[in-house]
Amino acid sequence: MIELDGLTKRYGTKTAVDHLSFRVRPGMITGFLGPNGAGKSTTMRMMLDLDNPTSGTVRIDGRHYRELDEPLKYIGALLDAKAMHGGRSAHNNLLCLAQSNRIPRSRVGEVLDLVGLTAVARKKSKGFSLGMGQRLGIASALLGDPEILMFDEPVNGLDPEGIHWIRNLMKSLASEGRTIFVSSHLMSEMALTADHLIVIGQGKLLADTSMADFIQQNSRSFVRLRSPQQERLRDVLHADGFVVVEAGNGTLEVDGASTDRLGELAAAHQLTLHELSAQRASLEEAFMQMTAGAVEYHAHGTGTDVHGGAPAAPGPAWGANSGWGAAPGPGSGPTGEGV
């Protein structure tokens, strides 16, 4: 259990983290979400006692980080992938960490095996790819077999197989009763892994909610239809009292209807359908809306954060496709049912 109480960090006049209070509970994956520059990494550094808070406290199982006897056995952290000495082999990088916390030497081989780096254990970590560096960082976090694990953007630089692997790893670690705290700026990634969600923007807490609640509150579900007889289809739907939105590219979107009902309706009128699919407006967009508000709210105060053109622009800079509205772009916008 990690408890943050009124955690604040100021750099001069800029407030990076602003009275942040929340709890990270054991046995589940807590997603820590915010756009770039929201204060996620600063918060995590303060949790690990690397940066000193301006005010407020962080408690790990009721204790300050510096009071932990052998910290790697309580909490393992992946901050950035290359926080290792490149001239040292993967094995030696882990060995010196293990020794400082009296972790048996055999454990180094175990974690290297666990992350799949045994073959390059004696190679200098300088030559590692981003993905391998990420795996080495995860190995260092797992070294003390800790109760709490913190990952800062763990999927960065990983290939699809690696992303799949880390998702499953986090899930299995959480199922053992561990506390998993993972930051990301990708809502879609969090939707797949996290049980609980903490959203910050401009250093302020925006949401502290379960993933299920967040999805329910923020996802708009609709049915997408595509037909060569689009005009007739629309008339039929109208006649049946459905609200139809034209989404471009010859697709229609209908809110609050089931695919069964619409498919039967089309069949009854002998209309050809090229597509009939249930869609859910992406959580990414809900998240962007939520944090865009925070960016706007603070724009006159700092104005230097998100390099997305005019500070008043609601579209934050990390997403290319920020068009939130009735027409999520095909492909990139909505996610399928699999959420």
| Contact footprint for another protein (CB under 8 A) | 1, 26-27, 45, 48-52, 61-62, 65-66, 68-74, 77, 79-80, 82-89, 92-93, 95-97, 99-104, 107, 140, 144-147, 176-179
Nearer to another protein, 194 or 237 (CB): 194
Nearer to another protein, 23 or 234 (CB): 23
Q: DSSP secondary structure string, 313-325? A: -SS-TT-S----S
- ∠ CA(257), CA(221), CA(192), 5° rounding? 140
87-97 b/e (C-beta count within 10 Å ≥ 16 → b): eebbbbbbbeb
| Nearest approach, Cβ of residue 254 and another protein (Å) | 45
| Nearest approach, Cβ of residue 115 and another protein (Å) | 15
Nearer to another protein, 183 or 335 (CB): 183
| Nearest approach, Cβ of residue 98 and another protein (Å) | 8
Nearer to another protein, 5 or 61 (CB): 61
| Contact call for residues 20 and 8 (beta carbons, < 8 A) | yes
Pull the structure tokens for residue 42: 């600063």
User: What residues does 179 pair with on adjacent strands?
Assistant: 148
Nearer to another protein, 2 or 207 (CB): 2
| Nearest approach, Cβ of residue 123 and another protein (Å) | 13
Q: Which amino acid is at 81?
A: A
Beta strand extents in the chain (DSSP E only): 2-11, 14-24, 29-33, 55-60, 75-78, 148-152, 179-184, 196-201, 204-210, 221-226, 244-246, 251-255, 275-280
Cα–Cα distances in angstroms (integers) from residue 73 to residues 77, 144, 145, 187, 321, in the given order? 11, 4, 6, 30, 42
Q: How far is CA 159 from the centre of its chain?
A: 16
103, 51, 47: which is closest to 73 by C-alpha?
Answer: 103
The distance in angstroms from the start CA to the end CA of the chain is 27
303-321 b/e (C-beta count within 10 Å ≥ 16 → b): eebbebeebeeebbbbbee
| Nearest approach, Cβ of residue 62 and another protein (Å) | 7
| Nearest approach, Cβ of residue 38 and another protein (Å) | 18
| Nearest approach, Cβ of residue 334 and another protein (Å) | 36
Nearer to another protein, 26 or 109 (CB): 26
φ, ψ for residue 318, nearest 5 deg: -80, -20
Question: Alpha-carbon distance 279 to 338, whole Å?
Answer: 10
| Nearest approach, Cβ of residue 74 and another protein (Å) | 7
Nearer to another protein, 44 or 158 (CB): 44
